Amino acid sequence: MYKDQIIIDGLQYCNWTRDYFKTLQKSGITAVHVTLVYHEMARETLTNFAKWNTLFEQNHDLIMRVDGVEDIVLAKKLGKVGIFFGAQNCSPIDDEIGLIEVLRKQGLLIMQLTYNNQSLLATGCYEKNDSGITRFGEQAIKEMNRVGMIIDMSHSAQKSTLEAIEISTRPICISHANPNFAHDALRNKSDEVIKALAAKGGLLGFSLYPFHLPNGSKCTLEDFCKMIAKTADLVGVDSLGIGSDLCLDQPQEVLEWMRNGKWSKAMDYGEGNASNSGWPDDLPWFKDEKGMENIYNGLMKYGFNEKEANQILGGNWFSFLQSGLEPKN
């Protein structure tokens, strides 16, 4: 039964209001990977943590902080939604290797090495040239492995991603992206990447962001489940999860800030373009408290058994987090 399972959404960046926390609670989602940072550096990251502390204080009846999988179990027991934090970029560590451990202790459990652009650690998926993992990047991967901060390559370029998988002694994730075979986009991943990821025990979270989907906002639940089935044929079920990339109720300026940060004077349209610069339309089957349950039922309708559906909706994320967050010393 869906309602008895641990359900994990491997990425959201919604407008975090009390009403939305109620929706999350009703959705049956046990824990959400919340994007804490897109472009913020160390000092601003502290303020983002402080803002979330206030949300926890004001909504303690609905949400709770997750620093490890034991907190996800507790959230399930208490009927609250667990929140765990990740950064979509390595900006929170500035240029300082020691901030990885500091931020891990603060509760940053996951960090992308790049967000679309070249970073100090690796190359993003929108750069022309992918130079792979940098000198600092190699050190950072080693340190993230040591302290149990999970490496995420969702927005990274292919060579950098393959090198990260190779260099990391622990499984890494692509928390929110889809296979290129379903929809060819710079943000989606080749079979080669997905196979390398899975071969090392990594996790791929399927994205519900229309720009990553076949037929965009017209993608049907069946299309989505077929994409998952085909990926399961490629690498098995154990490496698959959901990372919805859901950005509900965010204004245009947030989209522009995600795309442009403080780095661009000319407008960058990300996955859109000048004539299609706004948020894509929501998927009718994934926009309210029924979204994850729709996928759960869809998976079983289109060929998965209940155990597999449980794995994809949360079980695999849970196991991945369990081993990935444990410090090594």
Q: Which residues contact 77 (CB under 8 A, 6 or more apart)?
A: none
Number of residues that bind a copy of itself (CB under 8 A): 21
Binder among 20, 25, 42, 270 for a copy of itself (CB under 8 A)? 42
CA distance 80 to 202: 27
Task: Output the smallest distance, CB 2 to a copy of itself, in A.
Answer: 32
Task: Output the smallest distance, CB 105 to a copy of itself, in A.
Answer: 6
Instruction: Answer yes or no whether residue 47 interacts with a copy of itself by CB under 8 A.
Output: yes
Spell out, one character per residue from 77 to 116, where the chain touches a copy of itself: x when CB under 8 A holds, - when not: -------------------xxxx-xx--xxx---------
Instruction: Answer yes or no whether residue 46 interacts with a copy of itself by CB under 8 A.
Output: yes
Please identify, using beta-carbon distances, which residue of 102 and 300 lies nearer to a copy of itself: 102
Please identify, using beta-carbon distances, which residue of 146 and 200 lies nearer to a copy of itself: 146
Q: Which residues contact 31 (CB under 8 A, 6 or more apart)?
A: 6, 7, 8, 9, 66, 72, 75, 81, 82, 83, 84, 314
Could you tell me which stretch among 5-13, 29-37, 48-56, 307-315 binds a copy of itself (CB under 8 A)?
48-56
Instruction: Answer yes or no whether residue 327 interacts with a copy of itself by CB under 8 A.
Output: no
Angle between helices 221-235 and 191-199 (to 10 degrees): 60
Instruction: Answer yes or no whether residue 50 interacts with a copy of itself by CB under 8 A.
Output: yes
Which residue pairs from 129-135 have beta carbons closer than 8 angstroms and sit at least 24 positions apart in sequence? 130/157, 130/158, 130/159, 130/160, 131/159, 131/160, 132/159, 132/160, 132/163, 133/160, 133/163, 133/164, 133/167
Please identify, using beta-carbon distances, which residue of 99 and 141 lies nearer to a copy of itself: 99
Instruction: Answer yes or no whether residue 60 interacts with a copy of itself by CB under 8 A.
Output: yes
CA distance 323 to 16: 28
Instruction: Answer yes or no whether residue 328 interacts with a copy of itself by CB under 8 A.
Output: no
CA distance 41 to 21: 27
**Nearest to residue 311, comparing CAs of 236, 245, 200, 222?**
236
Cα atoms in the 13 Å half-sphere on the side-chain side of 123? 17
Binder among 57, 135, 233, 328 for a copy of itself (CB under 8 A)? 57
Binder among 1, 54, 266, 274 for a copy of itself (CB under 8 A)? 54
Task: Output the smallest distance, CB 101 to a copy of itself, in A.
Answer: 5
Place of tokens 């290129």: 180
Instruction: Answer yes or no whether residue 58 interacts with a copy of itself by CB under 8 A.
Output: no
Q: Tell me if 164 sits within 8 A of 141, measured CB to CB.
A: yes
Contacts with a copy of itself, residue ranges (CB under 8 A): 42-43, 46-47, 49-51, 53-54, 57, 60, 96-99, 101-102, 105-107, 329
